[in-house]
Amino acid sequence: MTGVSMRCVLNRRFHLIVLVLSLRMLDNISAATNSDGIKVTLLGTGTPFPNAERFGSAILVEGAGTKLLFDCGRGVVIRLTQAGVSPKEIDALFLTHLHSDHVVGIPDLWLSGWLLGRSKPLPIWGPQGTSSMAKHLAQAFGFDIHIRQAAPDPLPAEGVEIDAKEIEQGEIFNDGLARVSAFLVDHGAVKPAFGYRIDSANHSVVISGDTKFCQTLVDFARGADCLIHAAWSASWKNPAPPSMRSIASAEDAGRVFAIVKPKLGVIYHYKTEEGLSDAVRKEYNGPFVIAKDLMVINVGKTVTWDGKSAADTTPDGDKSRR
Domain layout of the chain by residue ranges: 37-321
Task: Transcribe 84-136 into DSSP letters.
Answer: T--GGG--EEE-S---HHHHTTHHHHHHHHHHTT--S-EEEEESTTHHHHHHH
Pairing of strands 308-309, 303-305: antiparallel
Q: What is the pLDDT of residue 238?
A: 75
Q: How far apart are CA 223 and CA 259, in angstroms?
A: 10
* Domain 37-321: CATH architecture, name and number where available: 4-Layer Sandwich (3.60)
- pLDDT tens column, 179-238: 999 999 999 999 999 999 999 999 999 999 999 999 999 999 999 999 999 999 988 777
Q: What is the pLDDT of residue 20?
A: 34
pLDDT in tens, the chain (322 residues): 555 454 443 455 544 443 333 334 333 333 333 457 999 999 999 999 999 999 999 999 999 899 999 999 999 999 999 999 999 999 999 999 999 999 999 999 999 999 999 999 999 999 999 999 999 999 999 999 999 999 899 999 999 999 999 999 999 999 999 999 999 999 999 999 999 999 999 999 999 999 999 999 999 999 999 999 999 998 877 777 777 788 999 999 999 999 999 999 999 999 989 999 999 999 999 999 999 999 999 999 999 999 888 766 666 445 444 3
**Is residue 144 among the annotated active site residues?**
no
CA distances from 170 to 58, 68, 197 (A): 22, 17, 10
Nearest to 173 by CA among 199, 154, 155, 144: 199
Q: Which of 101, 186, 225, 312 is catalytic?
A: 101
